């Protein structure tokens, strides 16, 4: 029979368990207490990451710029996008880039139940592995909002959650190459992780162009500072 103080306490604790990890979305919190989640890695490197693809309108253009600069990156893929354009996911891997889980759709996980959250992570991970032949290691939740269910699901699926230490705010209608460069540069340091978007599927139409315009300047700035730019795996693992 349900009831009593113990059951009531457990019922009240469930929402707190689900929502508490969302505090990590605050950069100052995770920078101080959760450096791994903040994307902090080797001080002589910078990790370059992209969210929301693959997108046939924009992802190939980012691949071209990265190839021209001989830089590899990590692409956090949405399951819905990869299901529509699997050949583009394979193209990302064939170009030498790392692929990771961004979720099935770009849903705020605070609005998803525990069962749906774990199911979405599992099917995205499985689709990425099936399409690209690579088992993803990293997971970044949409909007950077983690939940208790997402953390448990990531642990179960052997996914490592990681957010970012600087971003370009390249999803806004007013974003330009200059604003993206300046915003990233303001928070960029050796050992950091950059977040950009190679798709505008969940943003202002065409906003990805601001990130594409800023990308060569950002890569040049990292070279000037003596930082090697690469994917998260190399950022975290000294042997890679």
Find the range with the poorest average confidence among 16-25, 26-35, 110-119.
16-25
- What is the rounded CA–CA span in Å between residue 184 and residue 193? 10
Of 8, 25, 12, 6, the residue nearest 147 (C-alpha)? 25
Which of 38, 106, 197, 235 is the catalytic position? 197
Q: For 60-88, write each residue's pLDDT tens digit.
A: 999 999 999 999 999 999 999 999 999 99
Q: What number is the average pLDDT over the span 163-189?
A: 96
Fold of 37-236: TIM Barrel (3.20.20)
Establish whether 106 is a catalytic residue. no
CA–CA dist 70, 196 (Å, integer): 18
pLDDT the model gives residue 240: 54
Which of 51, 52, 55, 198 is catalytic? The answer is: 51
Domain boundaries, the chain: 37-236
SS3 167: strand
Cβ neighbors of 149 (< 8 A, separation 6 or more) are 18, 109, 112, 113, 114, 117, 118
Cα–Cα distance measured from residue 66 to residue 98, given in angstroms and rounded to the nearest whole number:
13
Share of the chain above pLDDT 90, in %: 75
pTM over 0.85: yes
* Both tokens assigned to 46: 């910078």
Helix runs in 114-195, H state only: 114-132, 148-156, 177-187
Secondary structure (3-state) at 10: helix
Q: What is the pLDDT of residue 35?
A: 82
Supply the pLDDT for residue 16.
43
Active site residue 235: no
Q: Which residue has the higher pLDDT, 20 or 197?
A: 197
């Amino acid at each position: 029979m349900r009831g009593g103080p113990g059951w009531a306490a457990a019922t009240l604790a469930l929402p707190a368990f689900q929502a508490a990890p969302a505090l990590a979305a605050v950069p100052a919190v995770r920078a101080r207490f959760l450096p791994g989640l903040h994307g902090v890695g080797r001080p002589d490197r910078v990790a370059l990451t992209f969210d929301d693809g693959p997108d046939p309108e924009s992802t190939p253009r980012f691949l071209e710029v990265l190839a021209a600069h001989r830089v590899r990156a990590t692409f956090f893929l949405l399951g819905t996008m990869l299901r529509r354009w699997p050949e583009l996911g394979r193209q990302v891997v064939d170009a030498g880039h790392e692929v990771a889980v961004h979720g099935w759709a770009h849903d705020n996980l605070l609005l998803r139940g525990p069962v749906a959250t774990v199911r979405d992570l599992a099917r995205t991970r499985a689709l990425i592995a099936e399409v690209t032949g690579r088992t993803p290691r990293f997971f970044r939740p949409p909007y950077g909002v983690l939940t208790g269910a997402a953390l448990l699901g990531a642990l179960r699926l052997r996914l490592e959650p990681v957010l970012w230490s600087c971003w370009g705010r390249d999803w806004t209608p007013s974003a330009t190459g200059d604003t993206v460069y300046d915003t990233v540069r303001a928070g960029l340091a050796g050992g950091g992780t950059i977040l950009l978007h190679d798709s505008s599927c969940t943003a202002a139409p065409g906003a990805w162009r601001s990130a594409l315009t800023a990308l060569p300047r950002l890569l040049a700035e990292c070279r000037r500072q003596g930082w090697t730019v690469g994917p998260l795996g190399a950022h975290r693992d000294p042997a890679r």
